[in-house]
Structure 1
Amino acid sequence: MPTLPRTLLFVSAERPERFDKAMASGADVVCIDLEDAVHPDRKDAARNAAMAYLLGRAKGNGGGSRLGLRINTSKTLVGLRDVMAIAEAGVHMDVLLVPKAESSHELEAMHAWLPQAFTELVALVETPLGVERATEIAAAARHAAPRLSALMLGGADLSMELGARFDWDGLLSARGRLVNAARAWGLQAWDVPFIAIADEPGLVQETRRVLDMGFDCKAAIHPNQIAPMHGVFQPSQVEILWAKGVCAAAVGGHGAFLYEGRMVDTPLLRRAERILQRAN
């Protein structure tokens, strides 16, 4: 079972001087971004910087976060150059993010082209066609793409293509469909970054909302966003005590049982286990 992250921090591959700072931010996953955060004229230099850092990490450099890489879509020449660079450099990353995923074939190709390059695969759903095919993409985890661990919402591109606002209301429908598709196939659901860096109350509110919807992880674009987001994902002491009590009462293989005067069955037991997983 893949490790369950709470936060992912993007860092532009154009800014290699920020890689170590990002790795020290406390984010569960740090993702070097070769796609949206890189100017089209500087893709080659950014790619070289990312490969050098991934090679250095293999020699023991870097911080404690898991390290990811977002490539450009393999439907473009620049994306194919990313794939070739990864294969030729022989680098390995914890998480490979595949942008603008619209079919299981793109994920299957990553397994075939880069069999040793990544531990987990995350499909970014950020087009109307991707949303329509989210269930098909998630289903690839059972066959074509066994290392697929999560679906992630790409809100900026999606809102632009939809003609919707890049805010809570504009993305609400897509969020619900993505979570449902991910859960239908046992995958994690990761949410888009909150882009108003200075608005911490807004960040906290949106993080609470996505957690309530069922998301496991939320992306960030600045290190200062990590601590407030972790604060939201951390269960309260009341929740933790309840979850520990439920799990302890379930030892011995009960079906439905009473705990503190309330009926507990399998769904509630799984909720308790999920709370303890988040707490840890």
Structure 2
Amino acid sequence: MLFVSGEKPERFAKAMAAGADLVCIDLEDAVAPARKEAARADALHWLAQRSAGPAQPAVALRLNAVRTLEGLRDVLALAQTATMPDWILLPKVEAAADVQCIHAWLGARCPSLVALLETPGSIDGAAAIAEAGGPLAALMLGGADLSAELGAQFGWDALLYARARILHAARAADLQAWDVPHIDLQKPESLADETRRVLALGFDCKTAIHPQQIPVIHDAFMPPAERIEWALALRDALPAEGASGAFMFRGGMVDAPVVRNALRILARAGQR
């Protein structure tokens, strides 16, 4: 997912053409307080005019925090518009009720929701937030805010515990887990390494703040050629439909979890 500032409507089209799977117009951190109203209007106008299609990436809107006046204004404006984004990102979620309120206010038109967990309290309450139900589809780490509140470095070691809590809570509730952007644009090798690490943990999405990060992330998402070859061969060797239990493959025993892993590898490689 690629973030684009709601202050910069002239960049919306460029973001859509950058190759991301999802583009998020940010009305929160990327918008100065004095520009909130104008950014909201520009984003909703663009959403109403955009031409959606299979060749276009999905579109998300990051609102201001639910417990703020600007967040309330965002929700009221969305409730009155005819066109919804495909996803809504909810920053600084502290409880399941924050998610449930958005669903109640937007009703049946509410799109998929992503809860950003950005405080020590939200990390501790990740499992309860994940059970909010309704259109909640993912939990996302808000690493910059969390690091600031912890007084910790915005780095891998300091955020590993939070990533693990978010992943476990998401999976227990059958949700996706999304990771925070890598903010250093001058170190693509660090972005690639961090992306591979979050994928190894089990995350589904690595977010970006600049178009130049997209190909780096996509390359990191692609499994190694030998893993793809192994997964293809395993898929072709699966017993006939209806068979169950373990079976031998290349000298080793294969069971259902191994097969699921192989199918995940093929899905990530675009070879479902």
Q: Report the TM-score range of the alignment, normalised by the length of the smaller protein.
A: over 0.9
User: C-alpha displacement at 1:217, in angstroms?
Assistant: 0.6
The residue aligned with 1:247 is: 235
Deviations, residues 83-141 of structure 1 (Å, cap 9, x unaligned): 00111122211111111111111111121111254431111111111101101111223
The answer to whether the 8 A contact 1:86-1:117 is kept is no
Select 2:68's aligned residue among 73, 76, 80: 76
Query: Secondary structure at the residue paired with 1:220?
Result: coil
User: C-alpha displacement at 1:208, in angstroms?
Assistant: 1.0
Select 1:263's aligned residue among 240, 249, 253: 253
Deviations, residues 173-201 of structure 1 (Å, cap 9, x unaligned): 11111111111111111000000012111
Separation in 2, partners of 1:163, 1:278: 36
The aligned amino acid for 2:112 is E
Larger RCO (CA under 8 A, 6+ residues apart): 1
Separation in 1, partners of 2:262, 2:210: 31
The residue aligned with 1:54 is: 47
User: C-alpha displacement at 1:60, in angstroms?
Assistant: 5.0
Select 2:125's aligned residue among 119, 133, 136: 133
The 5 A counterparts of 1:1-280 are 8-57=1-50, 59=51, 64-141=56-133, 145=134, 147-250=135-238, 251-252=240-241, 253-280=243-270
Deviations, residues 235-271 of structure 1 (Å, cap 9, x unaligned): 1222122112222323423311111111111111110
- Cα distance change of structure 1 residues 279 and 17 upon mapping to structure 2, 3 Å threshold: same
The answer to whether the 8 A contact 1:20-1:63 is kept is no
- Cα distance change of structure 1 residues 157 and 102 upon mapping to structure 2, 3 Å threshold: same
The answer to whether the 8 A contact 2:79-2:106 is kept is yes
User: C-alpha displacement at 1:63, in angstroms?
Assistant: 6.7
Aligned positions, number: 268
Unaligned runs of 5+ in 2: none
User: C-alpha displacement at 1:215, in angstroms?
Assistant: 0.8
Separation in 2, partners of 1:132, 1:198: 33
Separation in 1, partners of 2:247, 2:139: 34
User: C-alpha displacement at 1:169, in angstroms?
Assistant: 1.4
Separation in 2, partners of 1:216, 1:61: 23
Deviations, residues 4-38 of structure 1 (Å, cap 9, x unaligned): xxxx1000000000000000011111000000000
Separation in 1, partners of 2:28, 2:54: 22
Quote the sequence identity (%).
53
Superposition RMSD in Å = 1.6
Separation in 2, partners of 1:10, 1:41: 20
- Cα distance change of structure 1 residues 236 and 101 upon mapping to structure 2, 3 Å threshold: same
The aligned amino acid for 2:131 is A
The answer to whether the 8 A contact 2:4-2:25 is kept is yes
The aligned amino acid for 1:215 is F
- Cα distance change of structure 1 residues 176 and 52 upon mapping to structure 2, 3 Å threshold: same
- Cα distance change of structure 1 residues 104 and 203 upon mapping to structure 2, 3 Å threshold: same
Separation in 2, partners of 1:16, 1:243: 43
